[in-house]
Chains A and B, each alone.
Chain A
Amino acid sequence: MKKAILTVLGHDRVGIIAGVCGCLAEQNVNVLDISQTILDGYFTMMMVVDVDQAVLPFGELAQVLKAYGEERALTIRIQRTDIFDAMHKL
C-alpha cells in the first residue's frame, strides 16, 4: 500500500474537513487516519492516506490539492511517509 501524509494548515473556518475529504474522494484517495487540532484559530490537520488507487499520478495529485488549498487560503501538502520516517526514525 502506498501511503502518504496529507497536511492542511490555515485559519479555521466551517467546511475544511468536509471539503478536503470531498476532494480526496474525487481523486479516489482513501483516508486511513486523521488527526486535527485548532490552536488559537489556526487549523492543523494531518491525514494518512492510501494513494494506490488514485486517479492521477502523485505529482499531479499534489498539484490539484495544492491548488484546492490556495483557493481557500489553506496550505495543503501531500508527501510520501518515507520522508518523515527517514528524518525521525533510526
Chain B
Amino acid sequence: MVSQNNILDTIRMIDKEHLDIRTVTMGISLLDCASESAARSLARIYDKITKKAEYLVRVGTQIEQEFGIPIVNKRIAVSPVALVAGSTEAEDYTDFAKVLDKAGKECGVDFVGGFSALVQKGFTPGDRKLIASIPRALAETDIVCSSVNVGSTRAGINMDAVALMGRIIKETADRTADKSGFGNAKLVTFCNAVEDNPFMAGAFHG
C-alpha cells in the first residue's frame, strides 16, 4: 500500500500545483484510406476516424473521474496526409484538411494533427501538393494541425524545402491575417521530427 504521505503528496500536486495529463492522443493510420479517387479516399478517411475515435473523449472523461486527474486535451494524430492523398488525382489537398476538421469535430477532440509531409529526402508530387495547400487548408479549418519535416541527421537538410516553407509560412500568415496570422500557430517546420509524437502542432502518426 502506498503511504499516507504519498497519497497526500499526489493530491497536493493535482490540487495546488496543477499536475495534469496534457493529452490523450489516438494515432490512426490512414494508409489504408489511399485510393485513386479523391472522393473515395475522403470518405474512407472520415469513416475511419469517426469509427476509431468514437469513444475517445468519453473514455478520456471516465479516466479523469476514476483517477481524479484532469486530462487537458484529447487529440487525434494521423499518417502524414501527403502519403495518403498522393495517389489521388486531386491537385489541392484542402479538402483533405476539411475532412480531418469535420471528423475531429464529430469526435469532439481538441486537435487533429497530421496534415503533413516528410520531405527530408526530397519531394514526391504528393508532398508538393500538400505543402502548396497548407495556407488555404489552415485558413479554412479550425482544429487541423500541419507539419513538414525538412531535414534529418541521416539525409541532411532539404534546402529547397526550407526555402519553400519560408514562403508558405508567409502565405499562411497573410491568409489568416484577420486572425492575427493564427494559421502559423497550427504549422510546424521540423528537423528530425519524432514519429508518433503527441505534441501539436507537430503530431502525426509515424
Binding site for B on A (CB under 8 A): 5, 7, 33, 35, 44, 46, 48, 58-59, 62, 77-85, 87-89
Bound-complex Cα distance A58 to B59 (A)? 12
B124 on the A face (CB < 8 A):
no
For B3, list chain A residues within 8 Å (CB).
88
Tell whether A48 pairs with B1 under 8 Å between CB atoms, given A62-B65, A83-B69.
yes
The majority secondary structure among interface residues of chain B is: helix
Tell whether A88 pairs with B1 under 8 Å between CB atoms, given A62-B68, A79-B66.
no
Q: Is there contact, CB below 8 Å, between B68 and A84?
A: no
Q: Is there contact, CB below 8 Å, between A58 and B65?
A: yes
Q: Is there contact, CB below 8 Å, between A79 and B2?
A: no
13 residue pairs from A and B, CB less than 8 Å apart? A5-B2, A35-B4, A44-B4, A46-B7, A58-B65, A59-B62, A59-B65, A59-B66, A78-B68, A79-B66, A83-B67, A84-B10, A88-B6
B8 on the A face (CB < 8 A):
yes
Number of B interface residues in the complex (CB < 8 A)? 18
Bound-complex Cα distance A33 to B67 (A)? 19
For B9, list chain A residues within 8 Å (CB).
87-88
Q: Is there contact, CB below 8 Å, between A88 and B11?
A: no
Tell whether A87 pairs with B68 under 8 Å between CB atoms, given A46-B4, A48-B1, A81-B2.
no
